[in-house]
Amino acid sequence: MASRTYSETADIRLKRIGHLIEIEDPDLSVTFHPNNIDKTHDAILSRCDELYPGYRWTEVQSRDIDTQLTEIYKDYDEARNKRGGITEADHLVNLAMSHIKQRFKDQTSAFYAVIEKNGHDELLKMNSEEFSRYLTKLFYDTENKVISKNTINNSKRVLESFTTETRTIHNRIAKIGNTIYYDLNNEEWQCVKITKDGWDIVENPILFMSGDPNRKQVQPRLPFEENLSTNKPGEIRPVRDLINRFFITHGYQRTIAEVYVIALFIADISVPIILPTGPRASGKTLFLRTLRQLVDPRPFLALVERLPRDDKDRRVAVYNSYFACFDNESHLSSDLMDEICTWVTGISMSVRELYTTDEMRSFSAKRALGITGINVPITNSDALNRAFIVDMESIPDGFEENSKSMLIAENKLFEEIKMSIPDLLAYIFEVIARYLEVYEDVAKQIMPNHRLADFVITGEVISRVVGNKDNEFLDAWYQNAQQQNVTVLQNNPFAGLVIDYVFNYHYDDQNEIKIEPMQLYLDLRNRADDKKLDINRAKWFPQSPEWMTRKLQAIKIDLKAANILVEVGRDFNRRWIRFKKIIKDSSKIDQYAT
């Protein structure tokens, strides 16, 4: 705004309009503080000084402003005591406007107020009970009387109506430009700020909805004395040491798990579902509890819960978490598997605010998920393609000959792990700072080998930062992708029947089969009868050639793991399906066959 000289206007005229004092020339305003005339006076002079920089106010001019302001406050007090004048709801709105530092709504159209408390800024949802208590105390402190709940609700609606700014509120972790913020969710409203130059603990810059004591994270150890760039590769590996405390079967899965834990602290990438599987007493649940305590802490029993079957309850549970973990699932429905896919890569949904209106609220988010099970609870090819399977072994109990018990009380082990979290967090933040420093250069060298390309690239960069060899994570993830395909085939009886048909039914001496859909459908039914499979009421077997073709299209990528290429085409009016065998040795595919 261009500065003006005082001579360009005759005087400064003041007028109260609602919660504002308008300075009529020019059309500027300041907040009206109904119980603090001095604060309003100082705000007016400050705004006038901005308008007329360097101007010296005369005593007459200052007294003129004082006189107008005194008259405004007198009229206000009289109106409060007059029937039909300023109501308690009006007064509460004016009080709130004078104490609230910022107001805005988030990406879901929820309204927020920023207030000062205990020397720092805090964020309150306007529709929350906590905000109602804040307004109640504010009114009581200034007026020494209790205000009704109905008056509070009316005031909230007015405050919302004056709120137009929109911001994004994040859950636990946010990435703004090339800076990552991690919410500690503590009483001081602090977060960790990570840049390529390092990390530090700072005041929450109003990026998170904090304050829930059940989600409080411990303070990371600061300063972190180790320098990753000067240590030998792999010399410091506290996350790997944590992973090695669990009985994970394969080395490549431990490689991925170490990187996966660190990648959870990087926002805006699609992190695969982690699926710890194995027999009872293999530590699956404790493994997930540990990961969640490190990333998105909760009370012990709430770290891993049962997956809600009610749609609304499940979506609220996932949306309100950064890393949602569920326990002991044997098999998920097709609809659930489809929903899980969208949580990983990004979900957008709308819900009705009230059943009595047609107003909708929209939610968009990506979430990390973990699900345990004795067997892999996901069979859908699309969902498994977004999964990291962790095979876990039974913890030795000492009953076998020449074996030693490795069992330890769960609470004792978990407390030991919790004691190490300050050091683990400090290490992870150091790794992420180094990751931010080298990402652009290293990412150019990486050719992703999976549909979750952002996770694969991020994982390989992290892998090199922690000291692994180039492409070690890529090789490990390729093995995981192969296991995804195997799992799909082993859990899909239709795929098993197709594999058995291609390799063992009439076509042993042929590398390529081209057949019409109807004939293939009849052949598959005959093969199922030969193997005494009841397909008449089976949901897995298609009930028409058209549905059979659709099912083949859905699993053709997975059939490549069984050395079968599938092609569907048409010649004029004749449709056909072609199978091409990559190998002839049927012994190599017995593990998939029905």
pLDDT band at residue 508, thresholds of 50, 70 and 90? low
What DSSP designation does 237 have? Answer: -
SS3 at position 285: helix
Q: Compute CA distances 143 → 79, 91, 137, 367, 404, whole Å.
A: 16, 10, 10, 46, 71
For all residues of the chain together, what is the average pLDDT? 87
How many C-beta atoms lie closer than 10 Å to residue 27's C-beta? 7
Spell out a b/e string for 39-58, using b for 16 or more CB atoms within 10 Å of the CB, else e: ebbebbeebbeebbeeeebe
Confirm if 576 and 546 have CB atoms less than 8 A apart.
no
Which own/partner pairs from 560-567 qualify as long-range (CB within 8 Å, at least 24 positions apart)?
560/485, 561/482, 561/485, 561/486, 561/489, 561/592, 562/489, 562/495, 562/499, 562/589, 562/592, 563/588, 563/589, 564/498, 564/499, 564/502
Pairwise CA distance, residues 349 & 354, whole Å = 16
pLDDT cut 90: percent of the chain above it: 54
Reported as a single tens digit per residue, the pLDDT across 246-281 is 999 999 999 999 999 999 999 889 999 999 999 988
Pairwise CA distance, residues 114 & 121, whole Å = 6
Reported as a single tens digit per residue, the pLDDT across 424-455 is 999 999 999 999 999 999 999 888 767 789 99
**Residue 232 confidence (pLDDT) above 60:** no
Confirm if 253 and 261 have CB atoms less than 8 A apart.
no
Q: What is the pTM of this model?
A: 0.83
Provide CB contacts within 8 A for 187, sequence distance 6+.
Answer: 118, 213, 216
SS3 at position 190: strand
Confirm if 1 and 48 have CB atoms less than 8 A apart.
no
User: Of 482, 460, 479, which Cα lies nearest the Cα of 260?
Assistant: 460
Reported as a single tens digit per residue, the pLDDT across 122-179 is 999 999 999 999 999 999 999 999 999 999 999 999 999 999 999 999 999 999 999 9
Spell out a b/e string for 449-487, using b for 16 or more CB atoms within 10 Å of the CB, else e: ebebebbbbbbbbbbbbbbbeebbbbebbeebbebbbbb
Reported as a single tens digit per residue, the pLDDT across 18-62 is 888 888 655 688 999 998 999 999 888 888 777 777 767 677 778
Confirm if 385 and 555 have CB atoms less than 8 A apart.
no
**Residue 295 confidence (pLDDT) above 90:** yes
Reported as a single tens digit per residue, the pLDDT across 55-81 is 676 777 788 888 999 999 999 999 988
Residue indicated by tokens 């493994």: 287
**Amino acid symbol at 63:** R
